[in-house]
Amino acid sequence: MQFSNYTQAVVGLALLTIGIVGFAAIGGAATTEMANESVSFSNDSNVTVDVAWNDSISDPANASASVTFYNATEYDDDPSTATVVLSDSIAADEGNTTSTEYTEADGLEDGTDYRLIVEADDTEADDVTVTDGSIGGIFTFSDGSPGFGAGVAIAAIGAAAMLARRGS
C-alpha cells in the first residue's frame, strides 16, 4: 500500500507533536526560568516583581519563586561567572499575586543595569511580571506549560499538510 506525500507528512508531524507534548508533560513539574530580562534600576521607579500563583499548589507553605539580580555586563559576557548582586525568595500565596518591590535599600544602585532571573515551579506559579519603570518597562512571562508548544506544533502540522498537498 502506497501512501501519498500528504499522508506521510501529516502522520509524521502528528507523531512528532505527540512526542514533544509528552516530553513537555514529563518535565512539567520542574523549576522553570520564568523571567530573564535586563532591567534598569532607578530610585524613582524601583523594580517590581509580581508572581501570580495558581490556586492548586500542593504545598503552599514550601512554594516560592527565587529572584536573582546579576551584574548585567558580566552576565552578558558569561552567565556562569556573573556577580550576584541580590538574591531573594518570594513566598507563594495560593490563588493570589504577590508583589515585591526592590529598592536602593536592597543594594541596587541608581542608573545601573541588571540581569533579573526569576525561577519558580511552573505547576505553582502561573506567570511573572517585571516592571522596571523604563519605557515599555513591563515584561510578562507565561508559565512554560506545554499548552503553547502544543498549539505551535499543531500549527506546524497544518502548515506541513498544506505544503505537502501543494507538492503532490
Query: Which residues 6+ apart lie within 8 Å of 59 measured at CB?
Result: none
Q: What is the mean pLDDT of the chain?
A: 78
What is the Cβ-side half-sphere exposure of residue 20, based on CA atoms within 13 angstroms? 18
Range from 11-15, 101-105, 139-143 that averages highest in pLDDT = 101-105
**pLDDT tens digits for range 108-138:** 999 999 999 999 999 999 999 999 865 443 3
Please tell me the predicted confidence (pLDDT) of residue 4.
Answer: 73
More confident residue, 50 or 24: 50
Please tell me the predicted confidence (pLDDT) of residue 152.
Answer: 47
Please tell me the predicted confidence (pLDDT) of residue 31.
Answer: 81
Quickly list DSSP for 136-164: T-EEEEE---HHHHHHHHHHHHHHHHHHH
What percent of the chain lies above the pLDDT cut of 90? Answer: 54
| Cβ atoms within 10 Å, residue 110 | 10
Identity (one letter) of the amino acid at 26? I
**pLDDT tens digits for range 51-76:** 999 998 989 999 999 999 999 999 99
d(CA 160, CA 27): 27
**pLDDT tens digits for range 92-104:** 999 999 999 999 9
> Which grid coordinates belong to 81?
561567572
Please tell me the predicted confidence (pLDDT) of residue 45.
Answer: 85
What pTM was estimated for this model as a whole?
0.64
Please tell me the predicted confidence (pLDDT) of residue 11.
Answer: 58
